[in-house]
C-alpha cells in the first residue's frame, strides 16, 4: 500500500470510530446548571463568565460534529500534509473522549476489522464501546457490561439509563476528571478548525443565527398564535376521533394551506371513494342553528347531500358542531379517487405522473409554483408543530396534490394535502425529523430534483432511515444545484435542534423556542425570498398571520430605496472582453508579478536595522465596502489568508447578489501584495434610505478598527447624506485614500456620491485599450481618471460573466494605488514626510497623473505607461518628482 493510501486509511479509521461514539459525549455535555450544582470550584466575576462562555461554546461545537463529520470527503484532501493534519486532529479529539471513558477492562474487542488495529492501540476503550454499541459478534451483548451505577456526574437529573444507549452512556464522564472545560473547548475548536481548513469548500458555516438577533413584538405575537393554533388543531383531531360511531377506519386528508385564514380544510372518509369535504374553525360559542357533528361523521357515507358540498363546522375544547351551511366543494370528487398524486409523482420521483397528467399537469409546477408550494408547506409545519396531523411524516411521497383547476389564485391552485389516520394508536414523531424532511422538500422543489433514499441515509445510532441524515447528504451533493440562499435554508433545517438549544430571548418562553426558530430561520426567509423574486406574490399573502411584510402591517416608505449598484453584465465574450483579458494578462506577466516579488526578493531586515527601528514595511491594507463575498468562490477561497477582516451590517458576510464578490476578485487579482478587509453594507442592488448610515459606520470601521490605507467604494447615489460626508471627512483627516465609482448613467446624470466628494478619488471606466465606456458621466474640469472596467471577466454561480461599469474600474484603480505604495515602500528612498504624503489624496493624485495618458478627454490609468520592467530608476525618480510637486 502506498504512503498516501496508508494515511487515508488511518484517517478513515479514525473518522469511522468518531462517528460511532460522539453521540455518547453529546449526551454527557456539561450544562450551565452544573455551575449552580457546584460541579466546579467556587467562581466569581470574570472567571465565572469565562466558564459560562466555555460551556456554551463547547456544547455548540460538539453538537456541530454530526454535520461536520458527515461532510468530510477524503477525496478532497489534496496532500499528505493535509491528511496528516487531519489524523493529528482526530487523535486529539479521540484522545479527549478516551480520557472521558471509565474502565472497560474485561470486555473483549473484535480485532477482525482491519481498520481498527491502530485505533485499538490508541483508543481501546472507545473501540470497545463502539463495537459494543454496534453488536459485533456474539460476545458483544450489553449483558456483559460491568455493573456501574450512574452518579450525578454522568446522568442528568431525573433520568435513568433505560435504553441500551443509556447503559453505554453510564461509562462516560465528560469532561474528563481534572481537565478544565476551557481545555476541552480548545481541543474541539482545534479539531473543527483543521477540518474546515482542509475541506474549505466542503464544510460550510451557517448564518441562521444572524436572523435571530432581533425578534419583533409582531413576530412574537404571531409565534404565540401559531402555538395556540397547534393546540386547537390537536383538540380538533381528538374530537373527530370521538365523533366516529362505526367500525370503519377513518382517514382525513388535511389541506396544507398555510392556515392563514385560521381554518382547517380537509376531506374526511374511510377509503378512496367516499370523501366528505369539511372545513372547521375554532369558535368557543356555538349558534342555535348548529348541530353536533357526531351525528353526521359516519352517516355521510350513505347521504348524497354531502357528495359535492363542503360542511362548515366549528369546535371548542370538548365538542365539534356543524354550522348548518353547505357550500360548493373546492374539490371535484368524481375524479379525486383517480387523480390523487403526490409531490413525488409531479416532480418526477414517482411512477404515476403519466397516469395523472390529464388533471394534475393542467398547469405545470413551474418555478414560482414550486416556491409557493414550498412556502405553504413551511407555513403549515409552523402552524401544526407538535400536532398529530403530521403523524405519517413530511416527506414529498407523503404530500398529496389535488389542484383546483378552476382557481386563478396561485395559493389555491396546487392544494397540497397530507393523510392522517383518525386513530389514537400512533407513534410520536420527532419535530427535528419533520423539520429535516421540510428541508429536503424545499431543496427538492428548488432544484426540481428527487433526493430519493440511499443506504447512506441510515442513522448511525438507530439503524433506520433518517431525514436528517438524508438532508446532510443532499446538502453536500447538491451544492451546485441550489443557490446559497436555499442552501442556507436547508442548513437551518439540519441544525434545527442546535439552533433551538442555543437560542435565548428574554421575551420568548422555553415552549416557544422551536416555533421561533421555524419562523425566523425558515418560514419568513422563504416568504421574503418569494416576494423579492416575484413581487406580485406579496398581495397573495395579505392575510397571512405573522409574515413580516403582510399588507396590513407594511409601512409605505417615505422615499423609495436608493440604487447603489447598476452595473452591466454579459454572458457572451466579445471584442471588448478580449481587450480586457489581453490587458490583464500583460499586467500579470509583468507589472503585477514584479509587485508580488518585491517583498519576497527584499533583503531581510537584520539585527542592526531592527535596533535602529527599521522594520519590513507593513502590507498595504484595502477595505472594500460592498455586498460581501462568496466564501466558496475559487479565487477568494485560495486567497483566504489575505482577507484579514470581515464585518457585515446586514446578515451574514455571504454575498447573495454577486457585486461584492466580483469587486473583491479584482482587488485580489490587481493588488497581489495587499491585505483585504470586507465590509458588507448591502445584500442587493438597493438600500433603504434609513440604512444609509451603514456606509458611514463601515467607513469608520475601516479607519478605526482595521487601520486600512485605502477604501474602495464601488457604489453611487445622488442623495446627500451628512453621516456619510462626516465619515469621509474623518477618513480624510486620518490620511486614508478613498476611491469611488463615478456613475453608470452616462450623460444623463452627474457624478454620483461619494465619488463627487472632493476628498474622494472618482473613477470612470474604459476598456482594455483605454477607450471610454459609454456609461461614464461627462468629464469635468480637473482630473477624470479612467481605468479598466468594461467587459471584465469574472464568475458567479459557476458561470463565466463579463462585468462592465465604473463599479469595476474602482477596485482596479484602488489596487493600482496599493501597488504604487508597495513599490515605493521597497524601492523608493523617501523621507518620512514624503512617504506620508504618498498615502494622502494629493500625493497619490500626482502619481496617478504620472501613470495616466489623456484619451477621449479622460485620464487613462495604466501602469504600463510608466513601468516597462527594465528601468526601476526612472520610475523611482518619477514618483519622487510627483510627490515633490504635490
Quote the Cα angle for 495-498-504, to 5°.
Answer: 130
CA distances 588 to 576, 582, 712, 821, 862, Å, are 18, 10, 21, 18, 13
626 is catalytic: yes
C-alpha cell at 315: 369546535
The 3 state secondary structure assigned to 533-567 is: HCHHHHHHHCCCCCCCCCCCCCCCCCCCCEECCCC
In sequence order, the 6+-apart residues with CB closer than 8 A to the CB of 654 are: 207, 484, 488, 628, 629, 630, 631
C-alpha cell at 79: 496532500
Q: Is 857 helix (H, G, I), strand (E, B) or coil?
A: coil
859 is catalytic: no
648 is catalytic: no
Rounded to an integer, what distance in angstroms lies between the CA atom of residue 817 and that of residue 861? 10
Q: Are residues 622 and 818 in contact, defined by beta-carbon separation less than 8 angstroms? A: yes
CA distances 14 to 94, 455, 714, Å, are 8, 21, 48
CA distances 612 to 516, 605, 826, Å, are 61, 11, 17
Q: Are residues 382 and 375 in contact, defined by beta-carbon separation less than 8 angstroms? A: no
In sequence order, the 6+-apart residues with CB closer than 8 A to the CB of 510 are: none
Rounded to an integer, what distance in angstroms lies between the CA atom of residue 237 and that of residue 729? 66
**Of 856, 874, 852, which is closest to residue 864 (Cα–Cα)?**
852
For residue 570, what is the enclosing H or E element?
A: strand 568-570
* Helix axis angle, 3-27 to 124-134, nearest 10°: 70
C-alpha 339: how far from chain center: 38
**Of 248, 242, 252, which is closest to residue 421 (Cα–Cα)?**
252
DSSP code of residue 752:
P
Q: Which of 100, 359, 807, 852 is catalytic?
A: 807
DSSP letter string, 207-272: -GGGGGS---HHHHHHHHHHHHHHHHHHHHHHHHHHT--SSSPPEEEEE----TTSEEEEEEESSS
Rounded to an integer, what distance in angstroms lies between the CA atom of residue 26 and that of residue 442? 28
Q: Are residues 315 and 282 in contact, defined by beta-carbon separation less than 8 angstroms? A: yes
Q: Are residues 353 and 407 in contact, defined by beta-carbon separation less than 8 angstroms? A: no
- Categorise residue 268: left if φ over 0, alpha if ψ from -120 to 50, beta otherwise: beta
Which residue matches cell numbers 386528508? 253
Length of the chain: 886
C-alpha 872: how far from chain center: 48
Q: Which of 400, 659, 662, 764 is catalytic?
A: 659
C-alpha cell at 341: 398524486
* Beta-bridge mates of residue 622: 676, 710
C-alpha cell at 493: 433545517
Q: Which of 54, 82, 566, 626 is catalytic?
A: 626
- Categorise residue 393: left if φ over 0, alpha if ψ from -120 to 50, beta otherwise: left
Q: Is 278 helix (H, G, I), strand (E, B) or coil?
A: strand
* Active-site residue list: 626, 659, 807
Amino acid at each position: 500500500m502506498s504512503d498516501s493510501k496508508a494515511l487515508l486509511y488511518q484517517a478513515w479509521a479514525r473518522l469511522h470510530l468518531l462517528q460511532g461514539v460522539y453521540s455518547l459525549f453529546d449526551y454527557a455535555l456539561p450544562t450551565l446548571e452544573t455551575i449552580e450544582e457546584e460541579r466546579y470550584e467556587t467562581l466569581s466575576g470574570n472567571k465565572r463568565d469565562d466558564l459560562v462562555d466555555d460551556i456554551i461554546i463547547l456544547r455548540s461545537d460538539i453538537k456541530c460534529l454530526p454535520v461536520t463529520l458527515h461532510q468530510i470527503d477524503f477525496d478532497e484532501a489534496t496532500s499528505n500534509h493535509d491528511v496528516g493534519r487531519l489524523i493529528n486532529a482526530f487523535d486529539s479529539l479521540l484522545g479527549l473522549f478516551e480520557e472521558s471513558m471509565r474502565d472497560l477492562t474485561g470486555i473483549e474487542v473484535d480485532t477482525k476489522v482491519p481498520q481498527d488495529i491502530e485505533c485499538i492501540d490508541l483508543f481501546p476503550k472507545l473501540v470497545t464501546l463502539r463495537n459494543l454499541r454496534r453488536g459485533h459478534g456474539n460476545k458483544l451483548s450489553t449483558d456483559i457490561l460491568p455493573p456501574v451505577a450512574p452518579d450525578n456526574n454522568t446522568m442528568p437529573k431525573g433520568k435513568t439509563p433505560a435504553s441500551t444507549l443509556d447503559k453505554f452512556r453510564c461509562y462516560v464522564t465528560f469532561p474528563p476528571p481534572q481537565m478544565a472545560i476551557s481545555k476541552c473547548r480548545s481541543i474541539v475548536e482545534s479539531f473543527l478548525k483543521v477540518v474546515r481548513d482542509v475541506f474549505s469548500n466542503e464544510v460550510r458555516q451557517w448564518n441562521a443565527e444572524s436572523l435571530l438577533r432581533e425578534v419583533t413584538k409582531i413576530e412574537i405575537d404571531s409565534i404565540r398564535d401559531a402555538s395556540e393554533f397547534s393546540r386547537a388543531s390537536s383538540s380538533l383531531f381528538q374530537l373527530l376521533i370521538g365523533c366516529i360511531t362505526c367500525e370503519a377506519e377513518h382517514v382525513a386528508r388535511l389541506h396544507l394551506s398555510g392556515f392563514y385564514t385560521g381554518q382547517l380544510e380537509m376531506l374526511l372518509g374511510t377509503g378512496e371513494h367516499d370523501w366528505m369535504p369539511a372545513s372547521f374553525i375554532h369558535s368557543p360559542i356555538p349558534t342555535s342553528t348548529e348541530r353536533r357533528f357526531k351525528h353526521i361523521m359516519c352517516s355521510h357515507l350513505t347521504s348524497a347531500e354531502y357528495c359535492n358540498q363542503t360542511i362548515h363546522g366549528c369546535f371548542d375544547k370538548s365538542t365539534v358542531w356543524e354550522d348548518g351551511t353547505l357550500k360548493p366543494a373546492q374539490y371535484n370528487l368524481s375524479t379525486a379517487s383517480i387523480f390523487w398524486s403526490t409531490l413525488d409523482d409531479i416532480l418526477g420521483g414517482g411512477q404515476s405522473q403519466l397516469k395523472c397528467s390529464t388533471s394534475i399537469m393542467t398547469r405545470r409546477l413551474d418555478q414560482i409554483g414550486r416556491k409557493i408550494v414550498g412556502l405553504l408547506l413551511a407555513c403549515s409545519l409552523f402552524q401544526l408543530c407538535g400536532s398529530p396531523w403530521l403523524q405519517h411524516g413530511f416527506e414529498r411521497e407523503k404530500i398529496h396534490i389535488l389542484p383546483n383547476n378552476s382557481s386563478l389564485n396561485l395559493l389555491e391552485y396546487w392544494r397540497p394535502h397530507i393523510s392522517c389516520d383518525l386513530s389514537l394508536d400512533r407513534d410520536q414523531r420527532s419535530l427535528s425529523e419533520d423539520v429535516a424532511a421540510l428541508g429536503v422538500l424545499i431543496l427538492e422543489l428548488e432544484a426540481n430534483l428527487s433526493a430519493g433514499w440511499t443506504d447512506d441515509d441510515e442513522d448511525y445510532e438507530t439503524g433506520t432511515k433518517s431525514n436528517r441524515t438524508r438532508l446532510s447528504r443532499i446538502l453536500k451533493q447538491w451544492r451546485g444545484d441550489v443557490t446559497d440562499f436555499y442552501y442556507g435554508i436547508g442548513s437551518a433545517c439540519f441544525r434545527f435542534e442546535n439552533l433551538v438549544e442555543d437560542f435565548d430571548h428574554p421575551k420568548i418562553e422555553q415552549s416557544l423556542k422551536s416555533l421561533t426558530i421555524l419562523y425566523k430561520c425558515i418560514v419568513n426567509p422563504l416568504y421574503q425570498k418569494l416576494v423579492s423574486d416575484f413581487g406580485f406574490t406579496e398581495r397573495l399573502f395579505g392575510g397571512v398571520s405573522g409574515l413580516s411584510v403582510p399588507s396590513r402591517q407594511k409601512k409605505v416608505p417615505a422615499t423609495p430605496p436608493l440604487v447603489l449598484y447598476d452595473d452591466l453584465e454579459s454572458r457572451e465574450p466579445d471584442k471588448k472582453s478580449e481587450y480586457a483579458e489581453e490587458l490583464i494578462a500583460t499586467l500579470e506577466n509583468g507589472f503585477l508579478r514584479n509587485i508580488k516579488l518585491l517583498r519576497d526578493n527584499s533583503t531581510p531586515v537584520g539585527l542592526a536595522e531592527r535596533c535602529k527601528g527599521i522594520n519590513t514595511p507593513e502590507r498595504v491594507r484595502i477595505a472594500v465596502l460592498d455586498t460581501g463575498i462568496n466564501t466558496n468562490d475559487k479565487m477568494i477561497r485560495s486567497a483566504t489568508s489575505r482577507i484579514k477582516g470581515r464585518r457585515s451590517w446586514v446578515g451574514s458576510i455571504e454575498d447573495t447578489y454577486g457585486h461584492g464578490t466580483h469587486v473583491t476578485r479584482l482587488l485580489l487579482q490587481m493588488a497581489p501584495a495587499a491585505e483585504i478587509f470586507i465590509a458588507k453594507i448591502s445584500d442587493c442592488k438597493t438600500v433603504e434610505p434609513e440604512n444609509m448610515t451603514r456606509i458611514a459606520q463601515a467607513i469608520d470601521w475601516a479607519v478605526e478598527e482595521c487601520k486600512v490605507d485605502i477604501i474602495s467604494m464601488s457604489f453611487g447615489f445622488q442623495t446627500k447624506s451628512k453621516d456619510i460626508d462626516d465619515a469621509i471627512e474623518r477618513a480624510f483627516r486620518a490620511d486614508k485614500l478613498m476611491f469611488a465609482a463615478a456613475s453608470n448613467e452616462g450623460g444623463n446624470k452627474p457624478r454620483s456620491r461619494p465619488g463627487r466628494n472632493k476628498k474622494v478619488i472618482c473613477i470612470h471606466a474604459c476598456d482594455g485599450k483605454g477607450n471610454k465606456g459609454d456609461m461614464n458621466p461627462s468629464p469635468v474640469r480637473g482630473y477624470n481618471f479612467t481605468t479598466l472596467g468594461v467587459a471584465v471577466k469574472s464568475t458567479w454561480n459557476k458561470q463565466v460573466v463579463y462585468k462592465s461599469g465604473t463599479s469595476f474600474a474602482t477596485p482596479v484603480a484602488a489596487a493600482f494605488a496599493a501597488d504604487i505604495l508597495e513599490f515605493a515602500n521597497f524601492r523608493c528612498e523617501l523621507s518620512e514626510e514624503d512617504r506620508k504624503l504618498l498615502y494622502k489624496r494629493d500625493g497619490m493624485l500626482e502619481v496617478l497623473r504620472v501613470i495616466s495618458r489623456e484619451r477621449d478627454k479622460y485620464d487613462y490609468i495604466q501602469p504600463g505607461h510608466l513601468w516597462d520592467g527594465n528601468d526601476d530608476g526612472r520610475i523611482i525618480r518619477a514618483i519622487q518628482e510627483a510627490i515633490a510637486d504635490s
